[in-house]
Amino acid sequence: MNNNNPHQEPQDQQAAVAVATEDTVPPEVKWEPEFRQFHDKPFGILYALAYIAFLACGFTLVGKAHPRWEHKTVLSKTDAVGGIAILEPIPIRVVSPHFYGDVEQCCGDAARTADDDFTKALASLFDDDLIVTPILSLNLCHHLDSDTALRRRLQQQQDAATDATNTDDVWGEDDFWGKIFNPPVSKFEQGDGMFDAFLEAPEIIATLCLLALVLALMWITLIRYFATPIVFATEAVKLGFFIYLGVVNLQAGAVGAAIVAIFCALAIIAWDIYTFKQLKFAGKVLSYAAKSFSHNMSMFCAFLPILGLYAGNAYLFVLFYAKSFEVVEVTQVTDGFCIYTSPSYTSGLVVYCSLAYLWSILLFGTMRLSIVANVIGSWHFHSDNPPGITRAVINTCTTSMGTLSASSLIQAIAEYLNRLFLEEAMWKMCCNPVFCILLPLYCLCGHCIKMLILMLTKYSVILHVFTGKSWIGSAKKVIKILKRHFKGGFVTEYASTSVLTLGSYVFSIGIYFIAWVWMDKEYHTKTFIGVNDSTILVVAWVFFALFNIYYPVLGLYLLIVINRALSKWESLDPALWVTPFAATFVGIISMFFFSYLAGIFLDTVDTLFLCFAIDRDNRVDMENDEFAGLVKEGCPTVLETPDCSEDEDDEMDLDNVEAQPVMVTTGLETEPNSSKQEPGTVFSA
């Protein structure tokens, strides 16, 4: 092609798609204030009201919350050597001063009675002390003073120690692993579920969440500079972690844990072999996205306020949920047996806060996408007229807020329905083994429907940023564009998403396993390490975590609901389930960090593809365009068989289309001695 003639026809005439003006948009981003106006106002108002209600419900819980317990550490004589008593610190809890009067009035003289009628009745019903003791630990009458609470705590530990004598002895006292992973009995009290774990050792969740954030930042930064090598290095790290985990557990005798780890390693190897070409293609796509970052480094400053909102909203949600456990009343079950109960309105407030939090999280994701589309789209179409970071944030938080609220609401509904779809599939599989055959197809169908909806909402938001139209107007227009370019868009979307999402997922699973092992050691439980006789239970916990970490927002909601129910199950020992639950919670938080930062790359790839599709519709010469070459590599027919007709009523005659000259400026500088046209090249059909 001779670039000296700016009006020369492209060599590949078929690559120039003739599209009617009403079926596409001009290659520009209308970011100027005079082109922006408020759209979808009802959705913006609805979100504002929903968030105000979220704050009202949450702070209602905070205002009505009062500490139930006062935690103390007392010294108890455990043994004597040479006439010298050995004192061991024992953590106990007593009724807090706020509820002390109510509990004392409820219990009466029964609190001073060692063997009341209710205790004898329980003992007659249940022969197993491991059932009787947790029920009695709920009795507030046994927690009025330190002496009574200590006696009950020592009795609980003694019962647990008696049961522990029946466990396996793979950890010898002189063995290195035995000294680490064979503590005596569980340290859990009864009451708060997984929040007991966070209250007794907050350094675990704080350290692991900080580790997840640091790893996510390092991972994204390395992808920025070494995209293709990091794609394969990520796979190697994932594989190495699970191989190491399997070897360590085999040496320790934890067969169940080793089987799970080795299975994960084999699955990663099989997946990498199957998707080797896709991994190479994804590395090239991410490299191009990283190149766009090098021209727009200031864009990351625009994410700071969004990250602040994201973190602040997460803090409020965790605060509201934690405080909901402290909104209680003292209720008498029978003479001498009093417990804490939650008012009926508490569950409703918690459910609403969870749903509002889901909407907010998805809204912050669309706000990030809006900023990326503003900056990257302007850089691609007219790098000499960028909106500036401040203007991108202002447009996102003002005129675009209604449209972003509508889009995030649709995404929230899609996420929720897909979760119900999968839960129904799992339930049918349990009730009808024949359904196992159809389960993969069932899940694939639900996932594909969700992906189509999410693709539509994402590209609608990007087109809204480009044109300033409402969500409905942008959706109608983007459907027409995607009908012509869907295959290329799906290929680039799938390639980048599969690498970044799967990388985020596996890194989060790794942190989940670290949290599980650490909490088992810290709280003297054996739910993971040393459970060679409970392989099925370990596998069940792992699949529970895999399912919830993959859907972190709804997984967090499900975790909260189940934790609330199990914490009220009187006969269930917390040592059996709290540590896997708390570890899953840490894994979900890690997935939030990895997914949000990886989303910057995914948003950039989506924006670049829509820019490519709009350039194609406007007959821009992309013979030497790097991104067009990548799309063609992933989908070889994308530039060879253009679809110029929408349907029978929308067909067009190429010879009758009057082509208008198009002025296009690209964000990439022309390489020396390259045949690519200079920015601002004009050509016509």
The predicted pLDDT at position 67 comes to 84
Distances in Å between the Cα of 42 and the Cα atoms of 38, 179, 355, 402 are: 10, 62, 19, 7
Q: State the Cα–Cα distance between residues 240 and 626, nearest whole angstrom.
A: 34
Q: State the Cα–Cα distance between residues 90 and 153, nearest whole angstrom.
A: 8
Q: What is the end-to-end Cα distance of the chain in Å, rounded?
A: 15
The HSE-up count of residue 422 (CA atoms within 13 Å, CB side) is: 19
Burial of 649 (0-12, 13-18, 19+ CB in 10 A): exposed
The predicted pLDDT at position 324 comes to 85
By the 8 A CB rule, do 346 and 327 touch?
yes
**Hey, what's the torsion of the CAs at 206, 212, 217, 218, to 10 degrees?**
120
Hey, where are the domains in the chain? 69-181
User: What residues contact residue 31 under an 8 Å CB cut-off, 6+ apart?
Assistant: 374, 378, 387, 391, 392, 395, 465
Q: State the Cα–Cα distance between residues 608 and 627, nearest whole angstrom.
A: 8
Claim: this prediction has a pTM higher than 0.85 = no
The predicted pLDDT at position 634 comes to 64
Distances in Å between the Cα of 434 and the Cα atoms of 426, 540, 631 are: 12, 20, 42
The residues with which 74 forms a beta bridge, in sequence order, are 90
**Could you report the per-residue pLDDT of 402-442, keeping only the tens digit for each?**
999 999 998 888 877 766 666 655 555 555 555 555 666 66
Provide the token pair at 629.
Answer: 């070459």
How many C-beta neighbours within 10 Å does residue 392 have?
Answer: 25
How many C-beta neighbours within 10 Å does residue 110 have?
Answer: 18
Local structure of 389: helix, strand or coil: helix
Q: Write down how long the chain is.
A: 685
Helix axes 255-274, 535-550, angle to 10 degrees: 40
Q: State the Cα–Cα distance between residues 407 and 400, nearest whole angstrom.
A: 11
- 87 DSSP assignment: E
Provide the token pair at 187.
Answer: 């340290």
The predicted pLDDT at position 427 comes to 56
Q: In 3D, which of 508, 522, 513 has the Cα closest to residue 249?
A: 513
The predicted pLDDT at position 279 comes to 77
The predicted pLDDT at position 630 comes to 75
Cα 613 vs. chain centroid, distance in angstroms? 30
The predicted pLDDT at position 11 comes to 39
The secondary structure element, H or E, covering residue 91 is: strand 84-95
**Could you report the per-residue pLDDT of 609-643, keeping only the tens digit for each?**
888 888 888 887 777 777 777 777 766 555 554 44
The HSE-up count of residue 47 (CA atoms within 13 Å, CB side) is: 25
SS (H, E, C) 611-678: HHHHHHHCCCCCCCCHHHHHHHHHCCCCCCCCCCCCCHHHCCCHHHCCCCCEECCCCCCCCCCCCCCC
User: What residues contact residue 315 under an 8 Å CB cut-off, 6+ apart?
Assistant: none
Q: State the Cα–Cα distance between residues 577 and 282, nearest whole angstrom.
A: 39
Ranges in the chain, pLDDT < 50:
1-17, 110-115, 118-136, 159-186, 190, 531-533, 641-685
Q: In 3D, which of 452, 503, 506 has the Cα closest to residue 479?
A: 452
